[in-house]
Amino acid sequence: MAGQANTSRVHLWFAGPAILLMFVILIVPIFIAAGLSFTNYSLGNSGAQFVGLENYERIFTRSTYEKMFIATFTYVGVVVPLTVGLGLGAALLINSVTRFGDLYKTIYFLPVMAALLAMAIVWEFALHPTIGIVNATLTRGCGTFLEGWAWYAQGCERTFPLWLTDRDYAIWTVAFIGVWQGFGFNMVLYLAGLTSIPRELYHAAEMDGAKSGWERFRLVTWPMLGPTTVFVVTISCIRSFQVFDTVEAFYPQGGGPGKSVFVMMFAIYEKAIQQNLMGIGAAITVVFLAFVMALTLVQRWLVERRVHYS
């Protein structure tokens, strides 16, 4: 019995350091942030007053934070479907070509490996209204059939958009860069998922009458990619909620034109670090954490209950 008791305590010594570290590094800061979110604490002040739900009330009532939610959800709403769709499309195409597949994989994965902050500066050059390659290329298309497109004709007549400084285009441009940077990662995950689909399933589907490629995709490929898709969507959502580098590189003074790119991560940085309003910064952090937690819980629920076919 004594031996058993000793054995049962041994696992605590193995798991203890990891649990302690996880508690100190992950759990305690969450509780500290939650505690700070109910105060008006700022760095340098010795004391902090309890303000109750005032910080949360500000977040959900003031127009600045309304813009923050709009910008964040627009970004997530654009980037997640496009990165997932393009990642899947690229994976399917690359997996089906007989030559140069590895070359395409390498090219599409390049933006994932590149530092986004550095690439944001390059994009700033490329999207510059006068010296940028994007508007220069668009201008070369003037006088061709492209002018049949009203938007294009208007650009040729006046000027092409100020991609980063026009409030109507800024969030979409930042989202495009997010898609450019993110879909290669999803492509790799989908490629891994595709290799795990047994070939026999395609043969069986074909014998059961699934003749067209679309039918095989709908009946075999897509269901078998269920767990991969759930993981990809969750990771893409979390990464999209965490967008900061591009916004900070393009708009270091805050939030883009008319706060149209005032995403949550940048709001946390601006409030807590630049303006030293730790209370409101902590409150935004808690709201951000709630979104990420909800996404993770939905993913776990889907993975465990809905999407397993094997």
Partner 1 sequence: MTDAAMTSQPVVSDQKGARSDSSSMSWSSREALKHAVLIVGAIIVLLPFYVMVSYSFKGPSEIMQQTGGFFGSQELFRDDFCVKLGN
Dihedrals φ, ψ of 296, to 5°?
-65, -40
- Regarding 279 and contact with partner 1 (CB under 8 A), the answer is no
CA atoms of 96 and 263, how far apart (whole Å): 38
Report the nearest approach of partner 1 to the CB of residue 198 (Å). 12
Binding pattern to partner 1, positions 134-163, x when CB under 8 A?
--x---------------------------
Asked whether 280 and 58 are in contact (CB, 8 A), the reply is yes
Report the nearest approach of partner 1 to the CB of residue 154 (Å). 23
- Regarding 268 and contact with partner 1 (CB under 8 A), the answer is no
CA atoms of 289 and 186, how far apart (whole Å): 23
Asked whether 176 and 73 are in contact (CB, 8 A), the reply is no
CA atoms of 139 and 156, how far apart (whole Å): 7
**What residue has token string 């790799």?**
188
- Residues 46-105 contacting partner 1, CB under 8 A: 86, 89-98, 100, 104
Asked whether 92 and 194 are in contact (CB, 8 A), the reply is yes
Of 37, 186, 221, 246, the one binding partner 1 (CB under 8 A) is: 221
Report the nearest approach of partner 1 to the CB of residue 160 (Å). 14
Which residue's CB is nearer to partner 1, number 36 or number 119? 119
Considering only 5-13, 76-84, 118-126, 246-254, which stretch makes contact with partner 1 by CB under 8 A? 118-126
Tokens of 11: 């696992």
Report the nearest approach of partner 1 to the CB of residue 293 (Å). 33
Asked whether 281 and 268 are in contact (CB, 8 A), the reply is yes
Length of the chain: 310
Q: Residue 137 CB: number of other CB atoms within 10 A?
A: 11
Of 34, 74, 111, 226, the one binding partner 1 (CB under 8 A) is: 111
- Regarding 220 and contact with partner 1 (CB under 8 A), the answer is yes
Of 15, 107, 192, 273, the one binding partner 1 (CB under 8 A) is: 107
Binding pattern to partner 1, positions 164-183, x when CB under 8 A?
----------------x---
Which residue's CB is nearer to partner 1, number 164 or number 280? 164
Secondary structure (3-state) at 48: coil
CA atoms of 299 and 97, how far apart (whole Å): 32
| DSSP summary character for residue 209 | T
**Which residues of the shown chain bind partner 1 in the complex (CB under 8 A)?**
86, 89-98, 100, 104, 107-108, 110-111, 114, 119, 122-123, 125-126, 131, 133, 136, 180, 184, 194, 197, 199, 202, 211-214, 216-217, 220-221
